Amino acid sequence: MAHAASAVESGAFELFLKQNLSKDLLRFTTAGSVDDGKSTLIGRLLHDSKAVYEDQLASIKKSRINRSTGPVDFSLLTDGLRAEREQGITIDVGYRYFATAKRKFIIADTPGHEQYTRNMATGASTADLAVILVDGTKGLLPQTLRHAYISSLLGIPSILAAINKMDLVDYSKERFLELEEEFFSLAEQLGIGNVQCIPVSALAGDNIIERSERTPWYSGPSLLEHLEAVPHAAAPRTKSFRFPVQYVVRPDANFRGFAGQVASGVVRLGDVVTALPSGRQSRIQSIVTYDGQLAEAFAPMSVTLQLEDEIDLSRGDMLVQQDSLPHVAKRCEATVVWMHAQPLSAGQNYLIKQTSRQVRGKITKIIHRVDIKSLEPEPAEQLQMNDIATVELETSRPLFFDAYRQNRTTGSFIIIDPLTNATLGAGMIQAPLPRSADRRSADPLPPVQSPESPVANIERYQRHGHYPAIYSTSQPALAKRLERQIFEEGFEAIVVDASQVSLLSARDSWAILYTAGFVVIYANPSLEPEERVELETVAGGRYFDLDTLNLSAEDADAARQVLLLAESLWTANERQEY
């Protein structure tokens, strides 16, 4: 068997290798149409950075079609589909690759014409930077606005405006400065912070790789220099640890690990993490990889985490930093890009896929559509393909999310048609919504202990000797009976009676007592479904609805039946119980 390692004697290769293994990766998207010279620009980058191999070039020269004015039509390098070459347009997002000594680049090349919004959004979703082509002879066009808007919408932190065709405006400094100013004011309107304008000629190669002598008045970087230097800022902005569980690795009875990719933040051995939706906490026992155990893992590493406690956790759940929880909600406000010929209608049933979680959901309301030409909001009953709108989303089970602006991974979702299986649209979550309009709270999680609390939940539980739980019942008499019985079994038990509380709301009362580690018996003869969901969200597997049992206040062993519902509330016994 031939093995792969045998170092070349000279140090040259080692140096080359070292350089190549320390490169980072920058993904960028290019927006514009053939007319703007976009494909020519990409072809130029690929060609001049020596990524175009001679035989590929030879086959283009052989091709029947040449829609450029130059001797080689660089756009044929990127338009990979037959229909694209024949019609002279870019139909779909194409991906291209090149590398320099400093970085490896992935270009998501998106069409400027047909279905521009859908394809631009797709290319932009993973990009760290957007290159927007501006035709120097035409100036900023409506599509420039669209491109910049979609880039900012999809959370691209940096924009590079390539003011192209400078050769056709005599490399005019005045023309460049004029367009630069226009572009800056556009970027400011859209709240895009990191903008660089560069005067280029893709056709003649000015300021693409090297700074051009034909623009001596320009002191900024060339396009490639900027691409090599731009900060790699598309990493999640939140530092909070988020780990959507993808898969449970369980090769035998002795190993149970949670496989996933760190979406944001860092996790270290011994860190306390909270599992969602159960809300239970545990510590990181080991960070397992094929290449050995690690002391820490950070985004975007793919690892397998083992916890100290055997808590219930599976695909679709999330491990998060205990003192910085994501939103847990069934309703949120989101911006949606619609991508299918079948229009979006409010109230229709869809599947929502967000991180590793897939739930049923619907758009309950189209708040407004964005007029892509003026960027003004306008009312809409339906959304058509390529429409962008702010909507209210409601899901059957809670999602765990951060605002898209803070975290692209936990803040994004796709919408799937449960009947045809088609991907219909994509969404970016802005904020959670209160569970219904008349409630004041925007966050269904209770005012749990503040992040600065010097006492960890687990410490409280250890002092009590048991975990908290919430039992709800429609029978206040049963609740009273249980309070005494469960207390006598050794638990800190207390009744919250919805008809008795006055100082705090019932919801606040059970939430606070649960946080403090009590076994809460919540008596409410008219429990609303929404509050039940909240109870589930807060207490997860530690919430039990006693109305599902046939219990009455007269039952002598009601407490025992009730306590059996939980696998174990005792902290000391827990590990043996499983």
Partner 1 sequence: MQVSQELFRGAAPGIGLSEVAVSTKHKLSHLKVLEAESIYILREAVAEFARPVMLYSIGKDSSVMLRLAQKAFYPGKIPFPLLHVDTSYKFPEMIEFRDQYTKEIGAELIVHQNHEALAAGANPFALGTQKCCGQLKTKSLLDALGEGGFDAAFGGARRDEEKSRAKERIYSFRDAQGQWDPKNQRPELWNIFNSRIDKGESIRIFPLSNWTELDVWLYIHTENIPIVPLYFAKEREVVVRGGSIVVITSPNQLLPGEKTQRMSCRMRSLGCMPCTGAIRSYACTVPEIIEEMISFRRSERENRAIDHDEEGSMEMKKREGYF
Residue type present at position 104: K
The interface with partner 1 within residues 133-152 (CB under 8 A) comprises 152
DSSP for 165-196, please give it.
-GGGGTT-HHHHHHHHHHHHHHHHHHT--EEE
Region near partner 1 per CB under 8 A, out of 10-18, 139-147, 362-370, 391-399: 10-18
Yes or no: say if 288 and 241 are a contact pair by the CB < 8 Å rule. Answer: no
Distance from C-alpha of 545 to C-alpha of 556, rounded to nearest angstrom: 19
- Nearest-5° angle of CA 212, CA 217, CA 219? 70
Say whether residue 101 binds partner 1 (CB under 8 A). Answer: no
Residue number, 137 or 289, with CB nearest to partner 1:
289
**At closest approach, how far in Å is the CB of 114 from partner 1?**
11
Distance from C-alpha of 135 to C-alpha of 568, rounded to nearest angstrom: 68
**At closest approach, how far in Å is the CB of 544 from partner 1?**
29
Q: Are strands 493-497 and 519-523 parallel, antiparallel or unpaired?
A: parallel
Q: Which of 15, 17, 477, 504 contacts partner 1 by CB under 8 A?
A: 17
Distance from C-alpha of 29 to C-alpha of 47, rounded to nearest angstrom: 18
Backbone angles phi, psi at 440, to 5 degrees: -80, -30
**Which positions from 426 to 445 touch partner 1 by CB under 8 A, shown as an x/- string?**
x-------------------
Distance from C-alpha of 449 to C-alpha of 30, rounded to nearest angstrom: 46
Chain-centroid distance of CA 432 in Å reads 15
Yes or no: say if 23 and 99 are a contact pair by the CB < 8 Å rule. Answer: yes
DSSP for 230-284, please give it.
S----S-S--S-EEE--EEE-SSTT--EEEEE--BSEEETT-EEEEETT--EEEE
Q: Which of 48, 89, 103, 449 contacts partner 1 by CB under 8 A?
A: 103
Q: Which tokens is 254 given? A: 């002795």
Say whether residue 174 binds partner 1 (CB under 8 A). Answer: no
Task: Report the b/e string of 180-194 with b at 16+ CB within 10 A.
Answer: bebbeebbeebebee
Distance from C-alpha of 18 to C-alpha of 22, rounded to nearest angstrom: 6
Q: Which of 150, 153, 197, 495 contacts partner 1 by CB under 8 A?
A: 197
For residue 381, what is the DSSP state?
A: S
Say whether residue 500 binds partner 1 (CB under 8 A). Answer: no
Q: Which tokens is 336 given? A: 């949606």
Beta bridge partners of 284: 307
| Torsion (CA) 299, 302, 398, 420 in degrees, nearest 10 | 120
The interface with partner 1 within residues 391-420 (CB under 8 A) comprises 405, 408-409, 412-414, 416, 418
The interface with partner 1 within residues 279-338 (CB under 8 A) comprises 288-291, 298-302, 304, 315
Say whether residue 158 binds partner 1 (CB under 8 A). Answer: yes
Q: Which of 8, 442, 477, 504 contacts partner 1 by CB under 8 A?
A: 8
Q: Which of 150, 186, 195, 535 contacts partner 1 by CB under 8 A?
A: 195
Say whether residue 423 binds partner 1 (CB under 8 A). Answer: yes
Yes or no: say if 485 and 479 are a contact pair by the CB < 8 Å rule. Answer: no
The interface with partner 1 within residues 51-90 (CB under 8 A) comprises 53-56, 59, 63, 77-83, 85
Say whether residue 422 binds partner 1 (CB under 8 A). Answer: yes
**Which positions from 443 to 462 touch partner 1 by CB under 8 A, shown as an x/- string?**
--------------------
Task: Report the b/e string of 308-328 with b at 16+ CB within 10 A.
Answer: eeebebebbbbbbbbeebbbb
Say whether residue 180 binds partner 1 (CB under 8 A). Answer: yes
**At closest approach, how far in Å is the CB of 442 from partner 1?**
19
Residue number, 350 or 522, with CB nearest to partner 1:
350
The interface with partner 1 within residues 351-370 (CB under 8 A) comprises 351, 353-356
Residue number, 180 or 394, with CB nearest to partner 1:
180
Region near partner 1 per CB under 8 A, out of 101-109, 366-374, 488-496, 513-521: 101-109
# residues contacting partner 1 (CB under 8 A): 111
**At closest approach, how far in Å is the CB of 391 from partner 1?**
17
**At closest approach, how far in Å is the CB of 158 from partner 1?**
7
Residue number, 6 or 450, with CB nearest to partner 1:
6
